[in-house]
Chain A
Amino acid sequence: MKAAVVTFPGSNGDYDLYKAAQQVGFETDFVWHRERGLDDYDLVLLPGGFSYGDYLRAGAIARMSPIMEDVVAFASKGGPVLGICNGFQTLCESGLLPGALVRNDVLRFQGMDVRIRVERTDLAFTSGYEEGQVLRIPIAHGEGNFEADKDTLERLEGEGRVVFRYVDRHGNPTDEANPNGSWHNIAGITNEAGNVLGMMPHPERATESILGSDDGLSLFSSLAASVPALST
């Protein structure tokens, strides 16, 4: 059971992601963005950070990296791909996920713990959670405001492709609980097939209680439990 952490110049969440994958039993490698080939892997992880300094748009240049062609091919064969923060932005830029992540409406970089609600538990990423469970997970981004045209947004809701939503302590998606202005408090979405997940919060930074929360660990252990079945 092998996981690849794709690393771009400017990635900074790669080691945390590596450790989280290892912690749940994945044999994990870093794969540099100029390398090619993901055929040996069962899971692909795109880390957070500021690839290429966020020049032009967050994720816009990273998605032109040679390895992204392989990420697209891996995803189209049904392989699970998780993009966190800058990884989410890169998945949107690459077209694997719809929409775009624009400047936070508060015009500030937001670095804090937030609460997110699990909206779907039938995915390889979330099978270890309860539906409606509220997780405490940190965010750290300046451009996490999810936008898309109205049709796309309505389709995402209609097809139940919102996986995580920012909520308050009672589990309600209020404006106050929304750290960046995302439409309908969207914190994470999946593709039509459900094998690509993009999310702004950092579950890999919430994998041990000594870090303040281990609510993110179940995402990785869900993958560890689901991935063997996916690759057979």
Chain B
Amino acid sequence: MTRYSLEIRIKPRPGLLDPEGKAIHHALHSLGWGEVDEVRVGKVLYLDLDADSEAAAAEAATAMCRKLLANPVTEDFEVAVTGALEGAGS
């Protein structure tokens, strides 16, 4: 078993109104960053889990996103394996 670190990035689906992103966009403009075209606000979940392989770890995280972590109506997600610690876990 290897302990993998994963990052799950959840973001609002394109075309969906993101009021929080819009408010931040306004704030950036009023601070002088007029070059900012669009702001979208999502979230990142950091997970550590034990799995037999990197692919198995990513597959488990994808299943978690489908079942609970992301809402397919409003959100897209990406799973990235960011680290592995051999021999960890039991």
> A residues near B, CB below 8 A?
56-57, 60-61, 64, 92-93, 98-100, 102-107, 145, 147-149, 181
Contacts and interface: CB of A to CB of B under 8 A. Distances in A.
A117 B19 CA distance: 26
B74 A106 contact: no
Contact of B19 (A61, A99, A181): A181
A32 B73 CA distance: 28
B73 A147 contact: yes
B36 interface: no
Interface residues of B, number: 10
A100 B73 contact: yes
Nearest to A103: B19
Interface of A is mostly: loop
A170 B23 CA distance: 32
B71 A145 contact: no
Interface in B50-80: 68-69, 71, 73-74
Nearest to B12: A102
Contacts of B20: 103, 107
A92 B16 CA distance: 17
Interface of B: 16-17, 19-20, 23, 68-69, 71, 73-74
B19 A105 contact: yes
Contacts of A99: 73
A57 B71 contact: yes
The 4 tightest CB contacts between A and B, nearest first, are A100-B73, A100-B74, A105-B19, A107-B19
Contacts of A98: 73
A77 B74 CA distance: 29
Contact of A104 (B19, B68, B69, B74): B19
B44 to A, nearest CB: 13
A170 to B, nearest CB: 27
Contacts of A147: 16-17, 73-74
A48 B71 CA distance: 20
Nearest to B45: A56
Contact of B73 (A56, A103, A145, A148): A148
Nearest to A63: B68
A41 B20 CA distance: 41
B71 A100 contact: yes
Given A56-B68, A64-B68, A100-B71, 19 more contacts: A56-B69, A57-B71, A60-B68, A60-B71, A93-B71, A98-B73, A99-B73, A100-B73, A102-B17, A102-B19, A103-B19, A107-B19, A107-B20, A107-B23, A145-B17, A147-B16, A147-B73, A147-B74, A181-B19
